[in-house]
Amino acid sequence: MILDLHAHSIKSDDGRAKVQNYCQWIKAKNIPIDGFVLTEHRQFDNESDYSDLATKHGITILKGSEVETEYGHVLVFGVTQALQAAFDFTNIHLALADVLAACEQHGAVAVPCHPGRKRVGMAAHLEEHGVPQGVRIVEVYNGGSRGSEDDIAQSLADEQSYCGTGGSDAHIVSHIGRCATRFPNPIHTELELVAALKAEQFEAIKIEAKV
């Protein structure tokens, strides 16, 4: 099962892609992913139901979030109403320790994303804040990475024995599926995704761009 764990739709302030267009692009370009997770910025999309769209295209469509902490941006998987009540997803000054603790308490998983990126990546803040406690997984392949950002992310993962995920960080349709995460078993729900991430049996992969 191959899932792109990091994508944004028009629900995000800087997203320019409609979810149905992601589905159409994946099929039209034969992109080898089985689904994707919509990790909208500073929010969880409680409103949208993509089940019919997922069935129509034979694609798994899940939802998560991307929040902001003093260590940079963090993907959150397994978002529930209780987790949303535990901290303010719109707050751009969240403490990573609080996000990790809330996720642990409410059965979710937090994954610092693009950790090699300046300002919004975890590696840029280690000198000031130290290595955070409780991180188990980081995103090592990001479809929007430039230069050595993914190398920095992978080095961080190696040094700290983190598991690594992959995601496109797509904001436009043609970027979906550039990077993804391969799991050994099928995943069709957020609960199954959380269980798979907690089992730490997955690998980050890069996928050749389709033109």
Residue 209: pLDDT band with limits 50, 70, 90 = low
Domain hosting 80: range is 2-206
Q: How does pLDDT run across 28-42, given as a tens digit for each residue?
A: 999 999 999 999 999
pTM: 0.97
In this prediction, residues 19-26 reach a mean pLDDT of 98
Indicate the residue type of 75. Answer: L
The Cα 137–Cα 104 span in angstroms is: 13
| Domain contains 72 | yes
Are 151 and 177 contacting, i.e. CB atoms less than 8 angstroms apart?
no
Q: How confident is the model at residue 208 (pLDDT cuts 50, 70, 90)?
A: confident
- Give the helix ranges, DSSP H, for the chain: 19-28, 51-57, 81-86, 96-105, 126-129, 149-160, 190-199
Give CA–CA dist 194/153, Å, rounded. Answer: 22
6 belongs to a structural domain: yes
What pLDDT does 155 receive? 98
pLDDT band at 137 (very low <50, low <70, confident <90, very high): very high
- Three-state DSSP at 112 gives strand
Q: Residues in the chain, how many? A: 211
pLDDT digits (tens, 9 = 90+) for 112-126: 999 999 999 999 999
CATH number for the domain harbouring residue 86: 3.20.20.140
Which of 115-119, 151-155, 207-211 has the weakest average pLDDT?
207-211
Whether the per-residue pLDDT at 210 is higher than 90: the answer is no
Domain count, the chain: 1
Instruction: State the average pLDDT for the chain.
Output: 97
pLDDT at 211 over 70: no
Q: How many CB atoms lie within 10 A of CB 200?
A: 10
Q: Which amino acid is at 114?
A: H
| 148-170 mean pLDDT | 98
What is the predicted pLDDT for the residue at 130? 97
Average pLDDT over residues 64-89: 98
